[in-house]
Structure 1
Amino acid sequence: MPLWLDLLRTPMAAPETPRLRTMRRTFQALCLLCALGVAFISPLTAWLGRIAPIAVGSLLLASAVHTALYMVRKNRADNAYLDAATGDRS
């Protein structure tokens, strides 16, 4: 069987659980907020003062931490799903 056909028949990712869906949507919201915070740093600084850069920095840090947690949990779910699908019990 050609490799491409074998890859098409192989499940590539686990079905998304409600918890992973929530984490994915939170990740997307954090990315959007980071983009808006960086794009509008000048108006935010005028409105919030010295707190604005700290808030945007905190948002960037929260995004990085949440991304790392999401990737670990998503990879763990994918690996467990693929192990169950292939019958690998090691």
Structure 2
Amino acid sequence: MPLWLDLLRTPMAAPETAMLRSMRRTFQLLCIASAICVVLVSPLTALLGRAAPVGIAGLLLTTAIYTGLYVFRKHRADEAFLAAATSDEQP
């Protein structure tokens, strides 16, 4: 069997559970909020003063930590799914 066909038949990721879907959506919202806050840092600083950069830094830190947690859980789910799929194929 050609390699491309074998790769096409190989499952690349685990089916998304409700928890992973919720985590993915939260991750996406954190990324969007971070981008908006970084773009609007000057108006936010004018509006909120010195609290704005501290809040933005907190949001960026939260996004970074949550990203690590999401990637860890997603990788663990993918590895478990792949292990189950390959053990079913082997006699």
Q: Same fold (TM over 0.5)?
A: yes
Q: Could you state the TM-score of these two structures normalised by the residue count of structure 2?
A: 0.94
Where do residues 43-58 of structure 1 align in structure 2 (5 Å cutoff)?
Answer: 43-58=43-58
CA deviations 1:24-77 (Å, max 9, x no partner) are 001100000000000000110111110000000000000000000000000000
Gaps (5+ residues) in structure 1? Answer: none
Gaps (5+ residues) in structure 2? Answer: none
Asked if 1:9 corresponds to 2:9, the answer is: yes
Helix, strand or coil for the counterpart of 1:12? coil
Across the aligned residues of Structure 1 and Structure 2, the Cα RMSD in angstroms comes to 0.9
Aligned length: 88
1:76 aligned residue: 76
State percent identity of aligned pairs. Answer: 65
1:86 aligned residue: 86
Q: Could you state the TM-score of these two structures normalised by the residue count of structure 1?
A: 0.95
Please list every run of at least 4 consecutive aligned residues from structure 1 whose deviation after the TM superposition is greater than 3 angstroms: none
